[in-house]
A and B are shown apart, each in its own frame.
Chain A
């Protein structure tokens, strides 16, 4: 079976890219090429100019951190704390830096109480957050997150959105695979739509998401605010209603926040 066929994609430095598409479209397979876990049987993948077939996964791992979709595939330490330490220790970070970053990551992701617990006793959502804590603690240049919102409640998703803004402001390159269109919309990433192992569209989320036929094929639905936008554009409400506020919402910026 060919999981990917004829994929060409360029991701710029400091860019935020989201990959969407049906179950089995090849999204996870594609992102596993970014840190060399998988190497192409045809074609090539260059990360920061280096051909992944000509280097080791260990070398690529210094640049690229991946949080897998299924946290059970990457958690193996005897305690939550050691799990977070693992990559940093292997990358040769000074012990005091490691300690400081472990504290930060566990606190940020609300995992302090589990510091000495086995990762196996965590709930699904907590395991997921632990994988994110592990990646963000060692601060790679490229952050790849495969379905980070699965099992997360609204508060955790809001925290995740904060992390995205933080990562964006510190110039990280972010690749996120997600089905959660409502989560992606306010982040306004460049969107890559995959279907049947191919990239079928790419562009700003606000324009790509307009194409309902394309979304149908990739089994993606429009976010609520975009659906509202289309309706209002086709049938504008009576003029006495000031829709600028609604428009601002739809476009992902809250005008009231801007005024503040």
Chain B
């Protein structure tokens, strides 16, 4: 897998989150308690943090489910692609931000894969020929063209995941949010989804925010790792910076074994020339050390 050049140089801001706070009704504490975050165009951002840290709430604030669908106490502002989320209708936001749920069964429901991929576009009254070409393109990109006429229940979990992602891609959003995209997949299929994210990012310039507990899967392609804890952003940097910071092990985010070993060896005085992302890189570094 090729590692993207860190996208920082030509960075244009895609999303800006300023002083964002949100409290659900009936809840004593704020799920998101004052978050500032800027997301550059073309970045792959890995969002980590223990359950209940506010990750999902933050994602809902970015795609507009909050404040449009969830009542609660909202303050601060979120802007995506120049649109202020709180004052833009969901249907407009949906063309900017795509969301893939953890369980693809929650979002594929038509009689065939093709119909499902076309669903969002049909709702936006996109012309017929345009739908045809975008659907074909999305299915081809995800390698599911031959599944066009299959019913969703006939698909394997990996195929369902790709069908759901095709539906999101067909909308051509600037930003795609993935909530634990690989949790139901076998390790090899999970890696394929990871390569796919990298490909869509590289070829179409789509920005991604990915929530994933198995960090080791995403670290090799992520440009940035943001850690949340108790509603706040507590760490933000390249995965190498964050995972080699001694504080990271205190947040319960499942620091990959390789990073933990690297940190332990660094502490014991082993000199490394770079922070390894894979076991193979760590082995090379150990040989060089």
Contacts and interface: CB of A to CB of B under 8 A. Distances in A.
A179 B186 contact: yes
B254 A157 contact: yes
A121 B63 CA distance: 22
Contacts of B137: none
B254 A246 contact: no
A224 B214 contact: no
Given A21-B186, A180-B214, A153 B265 contact: no
Contacts of B256: 182, 224
Contacts of A223: 257
B286 A221 contact: no
Contacts of A216: 188
Interface stretch (A30-38, A95-103, A133-141, A227-235): A227-235
A246 B252 CA distance: 22
A179 B255 CA distance: 18
Nearest to A242: B268
B189 A224 contact: no
Contact of B261 (A25, A154, A157, A246): A246
Interface in A12-38: 21-25
A231 B280 contact: yes
B191 A221 contact: yes
Contact of A124 (B103, B188, B190): B103
Contacts of B268: 245
Contacts of A224: 216, 256-258, 278-279
A196 interface: no
Contacts of A124: 102-103
Contacts of B185: 23, 179
Given A150-B183, A224-B256, A231 B283 contact: yes
Given A227-B279, A232-B286, A246-B261, A221 B187 contact: yes
B158 interface: yes
Interface string A176-191: 0001111000000000
Interface string B241-272: 00000000000111111100100110010100
A174 to B, nearest CB: 21
Interface of B: 49-51, 102-103, 156-158, 180, 183-191, 213-214, 216, 252-258, 261, 264-265, 268, 270, 278-280, 282-284, 286-287, 289
Given A153-B51, A181-B187, 6 more contacts: A124-B102, A154-B50, A219-B189, A237-B289, A241-B270, A241-B286
12 contacts: A124-B102, A150-B183, A153-B50, A155-B252, A157-B254, A182-B256, A224-B258, A225-B279, A228-B258, A231-B283, A243-B286, A249-B261
